[in-house]
Copies of this chain bind each other. A is one copy, B any other.
Amino acid sequence: MSMRSNLTSVRQIKRALGEFRDCLNLGAKQQRARTMATQTQTKESQTKHCLGMDSLNPNIKVLEYAVRGPLVIRAGEIEKELEKGVKKPFTEVIKANIGDCHAMGQVPITFIREVLALVTLPSLLDDPRFNTDVKEHARTILKGCRGSSVGSYTDSPGIEVIRRHVAQYIERRDGIPADWQNIIISAGASDAIKNVLKLLICDVNNKPPAVLIPIPQYPLYSASLAEFGITQVGYYLDESRNWGLDIAELQRSINEARKTSHVRAIVIINPGNPTGQVLSRENIEEVIKFAYKEKLFILADEVYQDNVYAEGSKFYSFKKVLIEMGEPYSSMELASFMSCSKGYMGECGLRGGYAEVINMCPEVKAMYLKAISAMLCPTVLGQVALDSVVNPPQKGDPSYDTFIKEKQAVLDSLKVRAKMVADTFNSMEGFKCNVVQGAMYAFPRIDLPQKAIEAAKKVNRAPDAYYAFELLENTGICIVPGSGFGQQPGTYHFRTTILPQPDKLKGMLQKFEEFHKDFIKRHT
């Protein structure tokens, strides 16, 4: 009896998850999921566990994070099978699903690693093989650590001297003053984004809170909003205009959502993930005006600010544009996010990032700081990595030449790969790929034959997920189906990173093309 009740609820959840996956405006579904959770609540005494599926946080049930979903789990299994000698039509899994630079062979920036080694093991400060400027950086950070140890807790928003360096970095970038007290260091940008979104969990005017996010989007947003029970309101990016933001679409989306919820904030990802666009200054201005008119808190995900490749594309921060627009826009509430995981450094594992939060109501900011204090502090070594990024060697410093050479080599190579990926997909029948102006991903559209769509239905998968599983099993290439990010109904996409090293990337694209031809043959 207890097993049966468990299984029933698992099945219900699975069905709900399936529907959820296909769903574009996830907001409405989330409300449904909430209701569903109430309906499936059984008497706890029916199950043998104190914590069973029927008494699990319903928001956790509906939460999905496609970048690490079932496909990636299967990729991990395949890797283990290969290790055990199981024969496959390929010899390795290529993880093009995740923006994990070093995993794909990118070499760490020496300066960052040297500073990290010196602060960790200060006896190395006497070692003549390290440059004096590296030592100077390490000493400055250690002076900012209690007891001169990176093993001490720091203030919850981070070490003051590093927050000051972040502010100076932003000033140099934007040509506009930045207040170090507005810098909240975090364990990667994800941590910062969740901490800001969390503040918005509050009904307003008796309506549940909602947040506008792009479709396609980076699934951290859908996952976090699901976890927080905040309604997700998707606005479609315009694929025909290289994934730009269309104000009419923003208006359509907010008008629709306002019938049932209170839309409180808008998320913009620039450069775009998974879509690779770099917004023009004009487009940013339009968005800011829209957000002002609709009284929205702006969350600007700008973690790819160093990753701009296309001729004529330039990164403008939302803060710069908003401040330069003057009043009333320059008083708007804005949180901008940055990370050590992307750019040229790609230090994903170190978990360094920050939020710059401007114009926040001071009492709210005090509450925000209080809320993060219970988690004590972001990892100090992640903070140190961040310091190296925002406070790199300057011209004339002994480490400068190597630093610039390494940084430029990564960015140049990414630029070449961005073009290679888009060009290759565009040369393939049934593919259409926008220019990868920035970030680390291509998000091509594919035509899937009707027979493939039917085959997918039979195994209870979204068509693009079916395609991605076939690709994985036949070639070892792991991508993320477009349904994990959201897409216009009836269209199919996938996200691939541009991160495999050039030779491997070339091979991957070749294998991809062969697979695709075969797939089409098998499904027509």
List chain A positions with a Cβ less than 8 A from chain B: 6, 10, 37-38, 41, 43-45, 47, 49-53, 55-61, 63-65, 68, 76, 95, 98, 100-106, 108, 113-114, 116-117, 120-121, 124, 145-147, 149-156, 187-188, 190-191, 194, 198-206, 219-220, 223-224, 227, 262, 264-265, 295-297, 333, 345-351, 359-361, 363-364, 367-368, 370-371, 373-382
Contact = CB atoms under 8 A, between A and B. Distances in A.
Nearest to A98: B153
Contact of A377 (B53, B95, B146, B349): B349
Contacts of A64: 370
Nearest to A223: B374
B60 A379 contact: no
A379 B351 contact: yes
A102 B146 contact: yes
A290 to B, nearest CB: 13
Of A41, A53, A151, A380, which is in contact with the most chain B CB atoms at under 10 Å from its CB? A151
Given A41-B202, A57-B201, 17 more contacts: A41-B205, A41-B206, A49-B361, A49-B364, A50-B265, A51-B199, A100-B146, A103-B149, A108-B151, A120-B120, A151-B345, A151-B349, A152-B348, A153-B349, A350-B381, A351-B379, A379-B381
A147 B350 contact: no
Of A152, A333, A350, which is in contact with the most chain B CB atoms at under 10 Å from its CB? A152
A55 B204 contact: yes
Contact of A149 (B205, B333, B349, B370): B349
A121 B374 CA distance: 32
The 5 nearest A-B residue pairs measured at CB: A103-B146, A349-B380, A102-B149, A223-B374, A117-B121
A379 B194 CA distance: 17
Of A103, A116, A120, A347, which is in contact with the most chain B CB atoms at under 10 Å from its CB? A120
B56 A376 contact: no
Given A59-B201, A371-B60, A151 B101 contact: yes
Contacts of A223: 374
Contact of A60 (B44, B198, B378): B198
Nearest to A107: B149
A367 B264 contact: no
12 contacts: A38-B203, A52-B364, A56-B364, A57-B199, A65-B373, A102-B147, A102-B152, A117-B121, A149-B349, A188-B375, A349-B379, A381-B381
A213 to B, nearest CB: 14
Nearest to A371: B60
A104 B55 contact: no
Contacts of A61: 367
A275 to B, nearest CB: 19
A25 to B, nearest CB: 20
A261 to B, nearest CB: 13
Contact of A55 (B68, B202, B219): B202
Contacts of A120: 113, 116-117, 120
A453 B438 CA distance: 63
Given A120-B117, A202-B56, A348-B153, A376 B188 contact: yes
A364 to B, nearest CB: 5
Contact of A150 (B204, B350, B373): B350
B379 A51 contact: no
A370 B57 contact: no
A350 B379 contact: yes
A403 to B, nearest CB: 15
Nearest to A352: B379
Nearest to A222: B374
Given A108-B151, A146-B102, A348 B376 contact: yes
B376 A190 contact: yes
A38 B381 CA distance: 41
A92 B167 CA distance: 29
Of A50, A265, A296, A348, which is in contact with the most chain B CB atoms at under 10 Å from its CB? A50
B57 A350 contact: no
Contacts of A376: 68, 188, 190, 348
Nearest to A43: B205
Contacts of A200: 51, 57
Given A6-B363, A349-B380, A364-B51, A149 B204 contact: no
B296 A50 contact: yes
A151 B113 CA distance: 10
A101 B146 CA distance: 10
Contacts of A100: 146-147, 152-153
B363 A53 contact: yes
Contacts of A106: 147
